[in-house]
Amino acid sequence: MDEFGMQFLLIYFLLIRSTASDTITTSARIRDGETLISANGVFELGFFNLANSTNRYVGIWYSKISVPTYVWVANRESPLTDRSGVLTVREPGVLAILNGTNGTVWSSAFTPATTPAPNPTARLLDSGNLIVKDADDDDNFIWQSFDYPCDTLLSGIRLGWNYVTGIETYISSWKSDDDPAKGQYSSHVDPNGYPQMLLKKGDIIQYRIGPWNGLWWSGAPDTSNDPTYTLSLQIFPNEVRYTEGIIGDSVLSMSRLNPNGEGVRSTWNDRTNSWASYTNLPVDNCDNYARCGPHGSCNAGTSPSCGCLDRFVPRDPESWGRTDWSDGCVRRIALNCAGDKFLKYSGIKLPDARNTTYNVERRSLADCQVDCSRDCSCVAYTQLNISGNGSGCLFYHGDLIDIRAMASSGQDIYIRMAASESVDVASNGRNRERTKTITIASITSVASVVFVCLILVYVYGRRPKKDLSMNDEVVGLFSATHVKEAELPFFSLPTVLKATDNFSNKNKLGEGGFGPVYRGVLEDGHEIAVKRLSKTSRQGVNELRNEVMLIAKLQHRNLVRTLGFCAQGEEYMLIYEYMPNHSLDLMLFDKEKSRLLDWQNRFNIINGIAKGLLYLHQDSRLRIVHRDLKASNILLDADMIPKISDFGLARSFGGNQTEAQTRRVVGTYGYMSPEYAIDGLFSVKSDVFSFGVLVLELVSGNRNRGFLLKEHNLNLLGHAWSLYKEDSLRKLVDPCLEEAFDLGQVERAIHVGLLCVQNSPDDRPNMSSVVFMLGNEVALPQAKQPGFFTERDISIDHSSNSSNPTASHNQLTITWTQGR
């Protein structure tokens, strides 16, 4: 821009500033083409559209610079389609955007707990904050835009959680440069364990910046070198909040989350008339979350970038040799608690802090070691706050995940090791025996391939000819490729017939949508459960194949184990490990058998199901959405350990996919989430909803579907919600438990269950948060109204809530196809 143009622009700004106001009242509206300008002309508010779009938005932008830079958008999800819009403030203190017919396009939040303003006004501050307050009260804000940021973090915005209101403040990217609607990426202060900053794509962690070390986020030490910013994390009993503050008022600076997931911190350069970026996150591939698996360390300066921490070796050498590091590493000498010691690892980004505890008292590192050594579950410790000597302890439990070597400003961590390990100083996470490990892994890989080939030749050479009589449909369904991928043994039909006594009725365990299930005993005495596809099955051979391909690749304590399959002639079967205590519904909803489920058993079952779901959603090789989680699909072994079963309707998500839509809705009444039942949208949050229903059923001993009380016509979710609002959660507890339960634990379980069944998927926690909330005495956010919170016609037959034993096949699994 030439000198004349700059002078003209300056005159334009001065003219507008001389006439524009920073405030609107109930009697003054801002129309399209008019603006508000903050007192010192830093920010401006008004209507705008983006370069490649005609949609109109109300937003805030920097007023003094020529490059349009929008820092907040009110109606980001609901744009206007013409220039007829107006912005107004009205009693009792609500901002609203109206269209040409006076219809409300967007409005600010106003809750019953908010004090109404008899004379409300809206004002744009020089901080970029748009506030609503009473004209006679300058100290109390009814509403402020800083509580609802978009993609930009300005000085004064507080990210984090308010545990009293249950509201989280976070930033989320635009969908694209031309669409300010909420995009795929979001940045959060995660309060689980010790607070840290997470960048997510949907619910999947992409990058982890934390934890906080008193000066900066451990994974982003360069942010501490910014002379224009001060960083602050404050932890209160009812709130966790992170703020970035600009030093002085002469510099324009901001942090932004771009549509591609890149976090950028920039300052305005008057000389070049542009924004200058000086911090970009993530930096390289080592910033990808958990790239090297548990106890692995990433170093962007080496090839390959992943290595085991010193004194650790690959969990799966064959995969490690193929540069598949997802399984991570394990200690080369196992811990035994007694006599264990701690080795120092230096110059690293501290591991994921979601499974940590901490002590904020001024304690030395020696004190931290003593505390950690006394707790066998404590696997590592570090200094909590590096801003001063003796500033608390951070204790790690479980696997150490997402470690990387830091070129500068890396921190120290002290990791628990076996007493027999050498005492020389450990490296910063690169295994000195990398070459030896990869060589061994390569040899192991070749030997394994040869061994597998020999076994296949032997097995298929000895297979009876009658096992090859599968018809053409089954041959196509279970092709050699499928068998190889599933890695499941093949059971011949004669073997299954003998084990089940020709499918004798005395061995029949129950029946589901797939078909009947039989108990069997193999010749070696092992008990099995055989699920036989019925010719009238509503699920069919495709679901059979789906289950074969999915569950064979899943291994977890809380998932049922598939032993093999049989597909021969007209018979299609899956063979499982046998569960002596059968399915949860047969015990929980039986008046007599339910007495065997004391509270501790029920709470253990809740935790077991939660951990199984967490594995499916986050930790397995595939990201699995079960889609039919219910009491009849939870099996109990001899020790009452729950096992999630029946994966015929499950779906796997690839890459970073977090949600899908189907026209073929499958599931069970009473357990399906609203967005899935109505719109066919399913995600991990659909399973979270079903889990919440299960929790409330386990506490109450009642089914959700068919639940009925004389006092009202609510379902179980509605009844629990009513008791929650009345602070009477004790009334939900199954009477057969009498008083033999921990009330605090019961109330926590109910509260978590209600969080899981909230109507909006975005409000429901993910399973990692659920597991944490169940296992820790932390403040829980307020629950919102559950989905399907409606009263029903009392003329409906609710006999299905009978306390008599009900077989699992009476819980109808539904399938329907949505029309266009």
Three-state SS for 684-730 is HHHHHHHHHHHHHHHHHCCCCCCCCECCECECHHHHHHHHHHCCCHH
Beta carbons within 10 angstroms of residue 554's beta carbon:
20
Do 567 and 605 fall into the same domain?
Answer: no
Is the separation of the CB atoms in 800 and 624 below 8 Å?
no
Whether pLDDT at 746 is above 60? yes
Ranked by mean pLDDT, the top range of 453-462, 687-696, 758-767 is: 687-696
Query: What is the average pLDDT score of the chain?
Result: 79
**How far does CA 41 lie from the centroid of its chain?**
41
555-577 per-position pLDDT tens digit: 788 888 888 888 777 788 888 88
Q: Could you tell me the two tokens for 419?
A: 């007493």
Instruction: Please check whether residue 192 lies inside any domain of the structure.
Output: no
Least confident of 104-113, 220-229, 770-779, 800-809: 800-809
Q: How far apart are CA 540 and CA 813, in angstroms?
A: 13
Phi, then psi, of 90 in degrees rounded to 5: -145, 165
Instruction: Please check whether residue 424 lies inside any domain of the structure.
Output: yes
Contacts of 782 (CB under 8 A, 6+ apart): 164, 165, 166
Do 557 and 594 fall into the same domain?
Answer: no
Instruction: Please check whether residue 254 lies inside any domain of the structure.
Output: no
Over residues 661-688, mean pLDDT: 76
Is the separation of the CB atoms in 17 and 37 below 8 Å?
yes
**Domain span including residue 71:** 1-148
Q: Give the pTM.
A: 0.53
Model confidence at 536, in pLDDT bands (50, 70, 90)?
Answer: low
Over residues 687-698, mean pLDDT: 94
Do 421 and 484 fall into the same domain?
Answer: no
**Nearest Cα residue to 565 out of 536, 543, 587, 585:** 543
Instruction: Please check whether residue 76 lies inside any domain of the structure.
Output: yes
For residue 572, list its beta bridge partners: 567
Instruction: Please check whether residue 765 lies inside any domain of the structure.
Output: yes
Over residues 419-444, mean pLDDT: 50
61-105 per-position pLDDT tens digit: 999 898 899 999 999 999 999 999 999 998 888 999 999 999 999
- The pLDDT of residue 12 is 44
* Boundary of a domain, candidates 538, 562, 577: 577
Do 750 and 616 fall into the same domain?
Answer: yes
Q: Could you tell me the two tokens for 534?
A: 């019925």
**Nearest Cα residue to 80 out of 101, 102, 105, 103:** 105
Do 550 and 601 fall into the same domain?
Answer: no
- The pLDDT of residue 671 is 87
Proportion of the chain above pLDDT 70, given as a percent: 77
Residues labelled as active-site residues: 628
Whether pLDDT at 608 is above 80? yes
Instruction: Please check whether residue 224 lies inside any domain of the structure.
Output: no
Over residues 641-661, mean pLDDT: 70
**How far does CA 753 lie from the centroid of its chain?**
16
**Nearest Cα residue to 597 out of 607, 611, 586, 587:** 587
Model confidence at 545, in pLDDT bands (50, 70, 90)?
Answer: low
Instruction: Please check whether residue 178 lies inside any domain of the structure.
Output: no
Question: Looking at per-residue confidence, does 475 or 560 come out higher?
Answer: 560
Over residues 537-544, mean pLDDT: 60
CATH at 95: 2.90.10.10
Beta carbons within 10 angstroms of residue 140's beta carbon:
10
Q: Could you tell me the two tokens for 816?
A: 């329907």
Q: How far apart are the first and last CA of the chain?
A: 53
Do 416 and 391 fall into the same domain?
Answer: yes
CATH at 704: 1.10.510.10
- The β-bridge relationship of strands 86-90 and 94-98 is antiparallel
- The pLDDT of residue 247 is 63
Over residues 203-226, mean pLDDT: 76
Q: Could you tell me the two tokens for 147?
A: 């509580």
Contacts of 348 (CB under 8 A, 6+ apart): 297, 403, 404, 405, 406, 410, 411, 412, 413, 428, 429
Do 539 and 629 fall into the same domain?
Answer: no
Beta carbons within 10 angstroms of residue 344's beta carbon:
12
Strand ranges for 82-228 from DSSP E? 86-90, 94-98, 104-107, 120-124, 130-134, 141-144, 152-153, 159-162, 167-169, 171-176, 179-190, 196-201, 204-208
Do 624 and 542 fall into the same domain?
Answer: no
Do 686 and 809 fall into the same domain?
Answer: yes
* Boundary of a domain, candidates 390, 422, 438: 438
Model confidence at 546, in pLDDT bands (50, 70, 90)?
Answer: low
Do 588 and 572 fall into the same domain?
Answer: no
- The pLDDT of residue 147 is 92
Do 7 and 130 fall into the same domain?
Answer: yes
Whether pLDDT at 6 is above 60? no
CATH at 542: 3.30.200.20
Do 533 and 665 fall into the same domain?
Answer: no
389-422 per-position pLDDT tens digit: 557 899 999 899 999 988 667 889 999 999 888 6
- The β-bridge relationship of strands 571-577 and 659-661 is unpaired
Model confidence at 483, in pLDDT bands (50, 70, 90)?
Answer: very low
**Nearest Cα residue to 671 out of 713, 716, 630:** 630
* Boundary of a domain, candidates 121, 148, 175: 148
Instruction: Please check whether residue 431 lies inside any domain of the structure.
Output: yes
- The pLDDT of residue 298 is 92
Whether pLDDT at 682 is above 90? no
Q: How many domains does the chain have?
A: 4
- The DSSP result for 588-628, as a single string, is HTSTTGGGGS-HHHHHHHHHHHHHHHHIIIIISSSEEE-S-
- The pLDDT of residue 617 is 83
